[in-house]
Homo-oligomer: A and B are copies of this chain.
Amino acid sequence: MPESATTHPDVLEKLVSLCKRRGFIFQSSEIYGGTGSVWDYGPLGVELKKNLKDRWWRSMVRARDDIEGLDAAILMHPRVWEASGHVSGFVDPLVDCRHCKKRFRADDPRIKGEPGTPEAQCPSCGMKGTLSAPRLFNLMFKTFMGPVEDTASIVYLRPETAQGIYVNFLNVQQATRQKVPFGIAQIGKAFRNEITPGNFIFRTREFEQMEMQFFVEPGTDAHWFEYWKEQRMQWHRSLGLDPARLAFHQHTKEELAHYARAAFDIQFDFGGTLGFQEIEGVHNRGDYDLSRHQEFSGKKLEYFDQPNNRRYLPVVIETSVGADRTTLALLVNAYREEEVPGEAEGRTVLGFHPALAPIKAGIFPLVKKDGMPEMATRLANDLRPHFPVFYDESGAIGRRYRRQDEIGTPFGITVDGQSVADGTVTVRDRDTLKQERVSADRLREYLRERIEP
């Protein structure tokens, strides 16, 4: 629920179109009419999302000595989801129309009257008294492992990555000899058979999470909860997300899961009707998860605190980011249309942080002669092993700049007559539009300094 009203326009529709046209995001199986609320990342989208995921991995795993990485499988033992509470609790109430056979969420605002009563009216066929009373519908995708399709062979596509971390807690702790407090981090796909997904890649049936579970000594959890709350907000700001569009939302008693001691969402203002929405959750989960898995598996999951010679179940502080939602936040945050001083035509810009931009530099010969294409091609080939660059020699130079602005390329490098003579090139900054002459020999270092901070 948004804490405050948005003042930003709705740019989702424009983004969907730009993302398809330029190769960020395509509708999945589009030539077959699409797959419901599933999306494919195209050439630019896969780089944008990979840069985001790599940045999270570097900051959470590689740059710290107290967090270990993990990549647990999507298919887990079905008992995991009994222990986690998903089999019984991960449900939505649905109603059926006996007449037209359609299904609806029980809280669908188009339903008139109380479902299950003779007054209730079906929003699809309009019949009265045909809607069933609400029944619980589990949101986990299920499948069958092995040759026989029966209850004993049901497995689920994980609806969250976190359980893969909990069941491996002792394996990781013993292999790495980590001492509490320490964390386990993982990036991976999860699946939810949502009844009302939507808003582009905001809520999808197949999505990617970046989760870190931090295991702490009971009694120290309030401290670590505050620590991670601040760290994670700081991280989102470091992506270049506008600080004014980021907010904390504290879960009320009604929103809080029964086992949770505290929970804050980090929200981003997506503008328009979507407004402020969760992109990350920071949760104090108590020892619920480890104690449930201990109970259901019959295996002790206690941590042995050697110096104090005692065993205990650690408390878990969870930080859980939606990789697709954050990618959408990056797109929404970066999108702007603006006039260009001295030019009749305006431009569309994706003002990505240079470290996240899918392509770091466009490389353009001013004209297609006088050795300029050769020098520009050589430059592109020299830079390509180090950064993704795009060589473009077709059309007017202003048009080529605008094509790169629209996909968020931070630097435009032009090879002109002077370049061929003295070995310098002009570098145009996407945001300030200022041009600077730089020696071609220094270009790689020049770009590295501006891209990697």
Which residues of A does B touch, CB under 8 Å? 20-23, 26, 28-36, 38-47, 49-50, 57-58, 62-65, 68-77, 79-80, 94, 103, 137, 141-148, 155, 157, 164, 167-168, 170-172, 175-176, 189, 191, 193, 195, 205-206, 293, 296-297, 299, 301, 380, 384-385, 388, 391
Once the chains bind, are A103 and B175 in contact (CB under 8 Å)?
no
In the bound complex, what is the Cα–Cα distance between A63 and B70 (angstroms)? Answer: 28
Contact in complex: B299, A31 (CB < 8 Å): yes
Q: How far is A168 from B205 in the complex, measured between Cα atoms in Å?
A: 20
CA distance A118 to B343 in the complex (A): 87
B70 touches A41 (CB 8 A): yes
A-B pairs, top 9 by smallest CB distance, nearest first, are A23-B175, A29-B77, A32-B77, A43-B68, A41-B71, A31-B297, A40-B72, A46-B71, A46-B69
Partner of A103, one of B36, B147, B191, B388: B147
CB A161 to nearest CB in B, in angstroms, measures 11
B94 close to A71 (CB less than 8 A): no
- Is B77 touching A21 in the complex (CB atoms < 8 A)? no
Known: A31-B293, A40-B70, A141-B145. 18 other contacts (CB 8 A): A23-B171, A26-B168, A29-B76, A29-B77, A29-B79, A29-B167, A30-B167, A35-B75, A40-B168, A41-B71, A46-B70, A47-B69, A65-B380, A65-B391, A73-B206, A94-B147, A137-B147, A189-B189
Contact flag A73-B384 (CB < 8 Å), given A31-B299, A171-B23? no
Nearest B residue to A301, CB-CB: B31
In the complex formed, the residue of B with least CB distance to A67 is: B43
Shortest A359–chain B CB gap in Å is 10
Using known A-B contacts A36-B145, A40-B164, A391-B65, determine if residue A28 contacts B75 with beta carbons closer than 8 Å: yes
CB-defined contacts of A145 to chain B, threshold 8 Å: 35-36, 141, 193, 205
- CB-CB nearest in chain B for A21: B175
Closest-CB distance, A162 to chain B (whole angstroms): 14
CA–CA, A34 and B32, complex, Å: 38
Residues from chain B with Cβ under 8 Å of A176 in the complex: 23, 43
Interface centre among A26, A42, A148 (most CB of B within 10 A): A42
A100 to chain B, nearest CB (A): 12
Chain B residues with CB under 8 A of A73: 28, 35, 38-40, 206
- One of B43, B74, B103 near A206 (C-beta < 8 A): B74
Complexed CA–CA distance, A172 and B176 (Å): 43
Within the complex, the shortest CB–CB distance from A49 to chain B, in Å, comes to 7
- A319 vs B299: C-alpha distance in the bound complex, in angstroms? 44
| Distance in angstroms between the alpha carbons of A148 and B135 in the assembled complex | 13
Smallest Cβ distance from A106 to chain B, in angstroms? Answer: 12
Q: Report A3 CB to chain B, min CB distance, Å.
A: 32
Residues of B near A35 (CB, < 8 A) are: 73, 75-77, 145, 155
Give 23 CB contacts A-B under 8 Å. Answer: A23-B171, A23-B175, A26-B168, A30-B167, A31-B297, A34-B77, A35-B145, A35-B155, A36-B146, A40-B71, A42-B171, A43-B69, A45-B71, A50-B69, A62-B385, A62-B388, A65-B391, A74-B189, A137-B147, A141-B143, A143-B157, A144-B193, A146-B195
